[in-house]
Amino acid sequence: MVALLPLLLAGCGGYQNTLNPHSHAAGDITNLFWVMMAVSFGGLALVTGLLVFAWVRRGRRGIGGDTDDPHPGEKPGWFVVVGMGVVFPLTVIVALFIVSDWAIIKVTQAPAASSTALTVKAVGHQWYWSFRYPGTKAVTADEMHIPVDTRVNLVATTVDVIHSFWVPELNRKIDTIPGQQNRILLYANQADVYRGQCAEYCGLQHAHMGMLVFAQPKAEFRAWLRRQSAPAKPPTTALAQRGEKIFLDGACSSCHAIRGTSAKGYVGPDLTHLASRTMLAGLTIPNTPDYLARWITDSQHFKPGNQMPNFPLPQAQVRALVAYLETLK
Ligand code: CUA
């Protein structure tokens, strides 16, 4: 039994923890979990207790025993049957329904646009997230930033199949439906990094569709947004310049965009500020020069089925490409 505890507790603590809320909405969802848990355990204890009670007293009134009924007329009353069997469970279930379906929806629902200071648009792709900041040119992938203690209006949609935007420590899930814009309130009460995950099965690499939400102090966030809105700076070293030419002349630019260059592809993530991100490919691998090089030549090894084919380029070309991409801060 004790040996099983680590398994049970493995889901607790750290990243992406529903029971570690960092917003009012997520707090209410956590409370609902504990209320449901307590009521369920109460119900289990009650039923188990009654079963044990009946077993201990078996035979006394001829119920379940093999003796003749010594006390005719002493049957379990209608009160017990109707009260415990119908009225009590109905009351409990209706109460839980009201709490979960009314109170919780009220605190987690989409915010009134006037009550939010910022809108972020999240778009699901097979298999990564892109984030846009309306009113600016900023586009990023898999990693979004928001100001701390600020009501953010998150608008979610998809370019292909149904995904689900879910950052457990900040709020409930919201599905991304083709042709629809679903909204949710995103709020973080502490500057930190929160992990999120696509929560709707969307194909082979559904599990590799993670995202990070960086909640930052407001001034820091504004500076980040300014940097992300700017176009890419032209590379200065000879190696990086060679890399840029390979990128723009080759297959890369037909799927990826780099603002400030002629690359305007939209199938894959926008790479304008690729080097400012911590992870690659829906949080599949860390964003280091080595992993980036291996991703370019062998992306199907890390994420089989993803839309980027392997590019077995000569080592010198890969080095130049990586040198260029590393300048995209
Ligand atoms: Cu996208 Cu699962």
Q: What is the pLDDT of residues 245-287, one digit of tens each?
A: 999 998 999 999 999 999 999 999 999 999 999 999 999 999 9
H runs (alpha helix) in 230-314: 238-249, 252-255, 289-302
Ligand 1 close to Cβ of residue 244 (< 6 A):
no
Q: 224 to each of 31, 162, 329, how far by Cα in Å? A: 34, 30, 11
Residue 161 Cα: closest atom of ligand 1: 1
Average pLDDT over residues 143-152: 96
Task: Give residue 206 CA to ligand 1 midpoint distance, Å.
Answer: 4
CA distance 148 to 218: 6
Assigned fold of 238-325: Immunoglobulin-like (2.60.40)
Distance 202 CA to ligand 1 centre (A): 4
HSE-CB at 33 with a 13 A cutoff on CA atoms is 13
The residue nearest atom 1 of ligand 1, judged by CA position, is: 163
Q: Are 321 and 246 in contact (CB under 8 A)?
A: yes
Give strand pairing partners of 2: none
Of ligand 1's listed atoms, the one at least distance from the Cα of 127 is 1
**What are the phi and psi torsion angles at 112 (to 5°)?**
-65, 135
The predicted model scores a pTM of 0.85
Residue 89 backbone dihedrals phi, psi, to 5 degrees: -65, -35
Whole-angstrom Cα distance, residue 263 to residue 249? 9
Whole-number Cα distances in Å, 251 to 273, 275, 322: 19, 20, 15
- 122 touches ligand 1 (CB under 6 Å): no
pLDDT in tens, 61-83: 555 444 555 555 556 678 878 88
* Pocket of ligand 1 contains residue 200 by CB under 6 Å: yes
Topology classification of domain 113-229? Immunoglobulin-like (2.60.40)
User: Would you tell me how many other CB atoms lie within 10 Å of the CB of residue 111?
Assistant: 17
Q: Please enumerate in sequence order all residues whose Cβ is within 8 A of that of 36, keeping only pairs 6 or more positions apart, or say none.
A: 96, 100
Q: How far apart are CA 324 and CA 240, in angstroms?
A: 4
Q: CB-based contacts of 243: which residues, under 8 Å, 6+ apart?
A: 235, 319, 320, 321, 322, 323, 324, 325
For residue 59, the number of C-alpha atoms closer than 13 Å in the C-beta half-sphere is 4
- List the structure tokens of 259: 């603002």
Would you give the DSSP letter of residue 235? Answer: P
CA dist 255 → 24, 43, 239 (Å): 40, 56, 23
Cα separation of 103 and 94, whole Å?
13
- What's the average model confidence in pLDDT over 52-65? 74
Residue type, 227: R
- Please determine, for residue 98, whether its predicted confidence score (pLDDT) is greater than 80: yes
CA of 164 to the centre of ligand 1 (A): 6
Q: 150: closest CA among 204, 99, 221?
A: 221
Q: Look at residue 329 and tell me whether its pLDDT is greater than 80.
A: yes
Q: What is the pLDDT of residue 109?
A: 76
Residue 210 Cα, ligand 1 centroid: separation in angstroms?
9
Least confident of 106-110, 210-214, 283-287, 304-308: 106-110
DSSP state, 111? P
Amino acid at 44: L
| 154 Cα–ligand 1 center, Å | 17
- Compute and round to an integer the Cα radius of gyration of the chain: 28
User: 282: CA distance to ligand 1 center in Å?
Assistant: 10
